Amino acid sequence: MEQFLNNKQLIYFLPLVAFAILAESLLYKWRYRKSYPWIESATSLGVGIGHQITGIINRLLIQGVMASFIWQYRIYTVPEAWWRYPALFLGLEFCYYWYHRASHEVFLMWATHSTHHSPNEMTLSAAYRLGWLPLLSFTWVFFFPLVLIGFSPIEVFTMLSINLMYQFWLHTKLIPRLGFLEGIINTPSAHRVHHASNPAYLDKNYGGILMIFDRIFGTYIAEDANTEIVYGLTHPNYSKNPVNVVFNVWKQLLKGIAQKKTLREKIRLIFSAPQ
Ligand SMILES: [Zn+2]
Ligand SMILES: [Zn+2]
């Protein structure tokens, strides 16, 4: 999901992020005997800053206005029982799985999510290369059922923030496979597969913290040690300009819509698989 790390959480998170990236850069140089992709990291930083700025409006409208509106019409209120947060955790993970899967399978949603998949190398900075227009991609509708069944908007979006923060450490090549945890929780190895453009790895491993819904719905695949991963989009974007990175697929979508003759064809393109 793209927009729910708020500024207060970031203050605690940022020094850790900076330290982790510095450590990664040193290890990367030592391990791969080549220089760390600082320019690509700087592009990601630019995208990440833009994501935070646009996130103010996204949060206000999605969490503050729309989710609060739906909360008034909830069909149930989840009681303060021991199972409340475990249920929210699992429920959010389920919604996250389908949000993420749809973001890869529906052109309109891919327009925002493709930004996250644009880095051509897997480093920690990829974690905050996130799209700016989730509002227009309707990504948020996947989380509203949780509000409708009685988890408050603030709880839902805080749990989503936790899910996103967890995913930071997944974006690196330096952490190997983690034994029995593979296939149960999301690991750097599982997420490397998710960021791969190798045909065998496309559209796999959608989970946020868990891999169990990928196992249930048939999208889990383990990393093969003998396959060299190619990171990035199937039509790679080598631009260093954050604005180009963010709007590249949006431009493709709009161009495609303009080329279609009838309204029916235009709508079909918007909901079709990305091209
Ligand atoms: Zn993805
Ligand atoms: Zn990722």
Question: Tens digit of pLDDT for each residue in 194-236?
Answer: 999 999 999 999 999 999 999 999 999 999 999 999 999 999 9
Return the DSSP state at 63: I
pLDDT beyond 50 at 1: no
Q: 3-state class of 76 per DSSP?
A: coil
- What's the CA-to-centroid distance between 232 and ligand 1, angstroms? 11
| Percent above pLDDT 70 for the chain | 96
Question: Is there a domain that residue 234 lies in?
Answer: yes
pLDDT at 9: 64
Question: Is there a domain that residue 129 lies in?
Answer: yes
> What is 91-147 written as a DSSP string?
HHHHHHHHHHHHHHHSHHHHHHHGGGG--SS--GGGGG---S-HHHHTGGGGTHHHH
- What's the CA-to-centroid distance between 99 and ligand 1, angstroms? 10
Q: In sequence order, what are the beta bridge partners of 231? A: 196
Helices (H) and strands (E) in the chain, counts: 12, 0
Q: Per-residue pLDDT tens for 197-208?
A: 999 999 999 999
Q: Which ligand lies nearest to the CA atom of residue 128 in the structure? A: 2
Question: Is there a domain that residue 150 lies in?
Answer: yes
- Look-up of token digits 């990393």: 223
- What's the CA-to-centroid distance between 195 and ligand 2, angstroms? 6
Q: Per-residue pLDDT tens for 66-106?
A: 888 999 999 999 999 999 999 999 999 999 999 999 999 99
Cα distance between residue 7 and residue 5, in whole Å: 7
- What's the CA-to-centroid distance between 94 and ligand 1, angstroms? 15
Average pLDDT, the chain: 93
pLDDT at 59: 87
Question: Is there a domain that residue 223 lies in?
Answer: yes
Cα distance between residue 215 and residue 189, in whole Å: 15
pLDDT at 142: 96
Question: Is there a domain that residue 240 lies in?
Answer: yes
Q: What are phi and psi of 123, to 5 degrees?
A: -135, 165
Q: Which domain holds residue 83?
A: 7-271
Q: Per-residue pLDDT tens for 160-171?
A: 999 999 999 999
pLDDT beyond 60 at 5: no
Question: Is there a domain that residue 1 lies in?
Answer: no
pLDDT beyond 70 at 117: yes
Question: Is there a domain that residue 106 lies in?
Answer: yes
Q: Which ligand lies nearest to the CA atom of residue 168 in the structure? A: 2
Q: Which ligand lies nearest to the CA atom of residue 202 in the structure? A: 1
Cα distance between residue 58 and residue 43, in whole Å: 22
Cα torsion angle, 53, 58, 63, 64, sign: positive
The beta strand positions in the chain, using DSSP E, are none
Q: Which ligand lies nearest to the CA atom of residue 127 in the structure? A: 2
Q: Which ligand lies nearest to the CA atom of residue 191 in the structure? A: 2
- What's the CA-to-centroid distance between 261 and ligand 1, angstroms? 31
- What's the CA-to-centroid distance between 104 and ligand 2, angstroms? 12
pLDDT at 149: 95
pLDDT at 68: 87
- What's the CA-to-centroid distance between 3 and ligand 1, angstroms? 15
Residue 28 C-beta-side C-alpha neighbours within 13 Å: 18
Neighbours of 222 (CB within 10 A): 15
The pLDDT of 124-140, averaged and rounded, is 94
Question: Is there a domain that residue 2 lies in?
Answer: no
Pick from 5, 260, 218: which is nearest to 107 by CA? 260
* Total structural domains within the chain: 1
Cα distance between residue 232 and residue 98, in whole Å: 22
